[in-house]
């Protein structure tokens, strides 16, 4: 057996009786030599074969790497030891026999924390009277039943419940100290923790007394993305946690978040939830309303949607066009039906607020977004009632907005003064299509001003052949009338 190969070594490990028997089986020089030759490839093979615990024992007895000793405690290795209590005690004693210095090196090899190795390390540290590392406090919180090594859907809730129950079982002083350590671990990249909490870290932080900044640290780093099926339960738990902290805490979370784009990108839904549930004043920061337009502006029944919409319209250059126009348009259209049915909207107020965005002279992208909202909310008929405001706002519009408003106005029964005012604004700068429509509407005008003739003459000399022809015909007609 002096040239024992890898496969033969795996077979020898596998057929060495129970774990307890394997632990005490004599090792010949050939086994030790074979282990040292094949250790790097052996341990993955043992892990795949469900023999991780035996790999840890072999690493220890052959003076192998401490990382292999620790690796054998994880996953299936931990289960192997738990299945044989006698083997577990023998393993602890075998490790302890290596002495205090070896134990210190093993603890150091565990780095900032190792939940699976903690039961062994805690026993060894206690037996040798060593100082325990700070992460032991977190490891004592344990591991929820039913959660595997690889995170799965639903594990986050199990971890959340487990940690709360473990903390609640502690004496008050210990709970406070451990809770503070948990908060630190969840809000510091450099601190180890083994918990697969995901989005559920946020309500846990609230329940453990974290500051507003600490609560928002999590969604800044990892945006909240609860699935639709979990959203109601998650929101209920988050609100219940905040209620325990009081109205003032809710207001502080909103105050901190509303000016922080990263926090808003990660937790806008939660911030909006607090505003609604605690009947807080609406945020005033531009950052909040930019995020609201982007991520949360879909009409919602029972969520103060119109109040928020009007407030968002009042913020300069905050509105942005739909990212996916067709899909977003359908989404808003469907949602608008629900809020109208619930009697929670006033179309006149919505229309006035949207026109005000144009009147304020917001940037072109915001002007285009107004057009999309008018269409999605089916406000075109209501907009026609505001013909005077629409004509007055034309000079500050550009692009899609000026085309949309002009075409809307041309569907009305305009008098000659109104048509002239529209033409003087649109003909010099409008799109080809809308210029042609305005020229067509001017055919019935009789009272023609000199300024209008000059403006139409400019079109007659322009590059658009069709519009130029229309303009020349108008000038001839007006000349004949003169």
**pLDDT by residue (tens digit) across 129-141?**
999 999 999 999 9
- Measured distance CA(355)–CA(358) in Å, rounded: 5
> Is the pLDDT assigned to residue 430 strictly greater than 90?
no
Q: Encoding tokens for residue 439? A: 């020229």
Section 252-257 average pLDDT: 98
> Is the pLDDT assigned to residue 107 strictly greater than 90?
yes
Return the pLDDT at 22: 92
> Is the pLDDT assigned to residue 151 strictly greater than 70?
no
Query: Sorting pLDDT into bands at 50, 70 and 90, what band is 149?
Result: low
Judge contact between 278 and 247, C-beta under 8 A.
yes
Return the pLDDT at 480: 59
Judge contact between 359 and 394, C-beta under 8 A.
no
In this structure, which long-range contacts are made by residues 364-367, counting pairs with CB atoms below 8 Å and at least 24 apart in sequence? 364/398, 364/399, 364/401, 365/319, 365/320, 365/321, 366/317, 366/318, 366/319, 366/320, 367/397, 367/398, 367/399, 367/400, 367/401
Domain ranges of the chain: 6-139, 169-187+196-283, 297-394, 413-482
Return the pLDDT at 317: 96
Q: What letter would DSSP give residue 280?
A: P
Residue entry with tokens 């009697």:
343
> Is the pLDDT assigned to residue 31 strictly greater than 50?
yes
Most confident by average pLDDT, 108-112, 144-148, 337-341:
337-341
Query: Sorting pLDDT into bands at 50, 70 and 90, what band is 444?
Result: confident
Q: Mean pLDDT across the chain, nearest whole number? A: 93
Return the pLDDT at 105: 96
Return the pLDDT at 278: 96
Section 409-418 average pLDDT: 95
Q: What is the pLDDT of residues 339-372, one digit of tens each?
A: 999 999 999 999 999 999 999 999 999 999 999 9
Section 143-154 average pLDDT: 74
Please give the biggest Cα pair distance in the chain: 121
Q: Which helix (H) or strand (E) holds 67?
A: helix 66-71
Section 189-205 average pLDDT: 91
Least confident segment among 156-170, 182-196, 311-325 = 182-196
> Is the pLDDT assigned to residue 224 strictly greater than 60?
yes
Section 275-293 average pLDDT: 96
Return the pLDDT at 161: 97
> Is the pLDDT assigned to residue 66 strictly greater than 90?
yes
Q: What percent of the chain lies above the pLDDT cut of 90?
A: 80
Section 5-20 average pLDDT: 92
Judge contact between 107 and 121, C-beta under 8 A.
yes
Query: Sorting pLDDT into bands at 50, 70 and 90, what band is 228?
Result: confident
User: What is the Cβ-side half-sphere exposure of residue 173, based on CA atoms within 13 angstroms?
Assistant: 0
Q: Which of 237, 85, 80, 225 is nearest to 157 (CA)?
A: 237
Q: Which of 173, 166, 254, 167 is nearest to 208 (CA)?
A: 167
Alpha-carbon 338 to chain mean position: 26
- Measured distance CA(336)–CA(374) in Å, rounded: 12
- Measured distance CA(359)–CA(397) in Å, rounded: 8
Cβ partners under 8 Å of residue 152, min gap 6: none
Query: Sorting pLDDT into bands at 50, 70 and 90, what band is 1?
Result: very low
- Measured distance CA(119)–CA(316) in Å, rounded: 59
Return the pLDDT at 340: 95
Section 228-238 average pLDDT: 94
Return the pLDDT at 112: 87
> Is the pLDDT assigned to residue 326 strictly greater than 60?
yes
Return the pLDDT at 194: 86
In this structure, which long-range contacts are made by residues 465-469, counting pairs with CB atoms below 8 Å and at least 24 apart in sequence? 466/432, 466/436, 467/432, 467/435, 467/436, 467/439
Section 28-36 average pLDDT: 92
């Amino acid at each position: 057996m002096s040239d024992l190969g890898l496969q033969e070594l795996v077979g020898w490990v596998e057929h060495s009786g129970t774990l307890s028997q394997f632990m005490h089986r004599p090792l010949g020089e050939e086994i030790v030599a074979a282990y040292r030759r094949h250790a790097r490839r052996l341990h993955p093979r043992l892990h795949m074969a469900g023999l991780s615990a035996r790999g840890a024992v072999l690493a220890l007895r052959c003076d192998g790497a401490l990382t292999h000793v620790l690796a054998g405690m994880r996953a299936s290795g931990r289960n192997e030891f738990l299945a044989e209590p006698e083997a577990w005690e023998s393993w602890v004693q075998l490790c302890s026999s290596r002495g205090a210095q070896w134990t210190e090196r093993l603890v150091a090899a565990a780095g900032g924390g190792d939940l699976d190795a903690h039961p062994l390390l805690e026993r060894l540290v206690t037996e040798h009277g060593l100082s325990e590392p700070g992460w032991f406090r977190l490891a004592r919180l344990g591991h929820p039943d039913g959660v595997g090594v690889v995170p799965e859907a639903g594990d986050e809730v199990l971890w959340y419940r487990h940690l709360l129950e473990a903390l609640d079982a502690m004496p008050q002083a210990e709970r406070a100290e451990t809770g503070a350590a948990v908060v630190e671990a969840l809000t510091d990249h450099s601190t180890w923790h083994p918990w697969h909490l995901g989005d559920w870290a946020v309500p846990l932080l609230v329940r453990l007394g974290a500051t507003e900044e600490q609560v928002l640290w999590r969604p800044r780093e990892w945006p909240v993305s609860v699935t639709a099926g979990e959203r109601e339960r998650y929101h209920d738990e988050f609100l219940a946690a905040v209620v325990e902290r009081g109205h003032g805490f809710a207001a502080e979370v909103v105050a901190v978040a509303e000016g922080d784009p990263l926090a808003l990108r990660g937790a806008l839904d939660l911030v909006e939830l607090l505003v609604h549930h605690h009947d807080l004043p609406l945020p005033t920061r531009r950052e909040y309303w930019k995020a609201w337009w982007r991520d949360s502006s879909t009409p919602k029944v029972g969520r103060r949607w119109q109040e928020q919409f009007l407030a968002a319209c009042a913020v300069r250059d905050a509105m942005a066009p739909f990212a996916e126009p067709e899909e977003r348009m359908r989404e808003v259209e469907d949602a608008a039906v629900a809020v109208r049915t619930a009697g929670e909207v006033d179309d006149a107020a919505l229309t006035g607020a949207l026109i005000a965005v144009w009147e304020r002279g917001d940037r072109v992208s915001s002007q285009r977004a107004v057009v999309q909202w008018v269409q999605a909310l089916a406000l075109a008929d209501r907009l026609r009632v505001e013909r005077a405001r629409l004509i007055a706002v034309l000079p500050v519009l550009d692009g899609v907005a000026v085309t949309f408003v002009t075409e809307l106005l041309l569907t009305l029964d305009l008098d000659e003064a109104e048509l002239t005012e529209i033409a003087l604004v649109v003909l010099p700068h409008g799109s080809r299509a809308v210029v042609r429509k305005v020229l067509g509407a001017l055919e019935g005008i009789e009272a023609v001003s000199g300024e209008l003739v000059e403006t139409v003459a400019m079109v007659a000399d322009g590059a658009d052949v069709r519009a130029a022809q229309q303009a020349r015909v108008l000038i001839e007609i007006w000349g004949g009338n003169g």
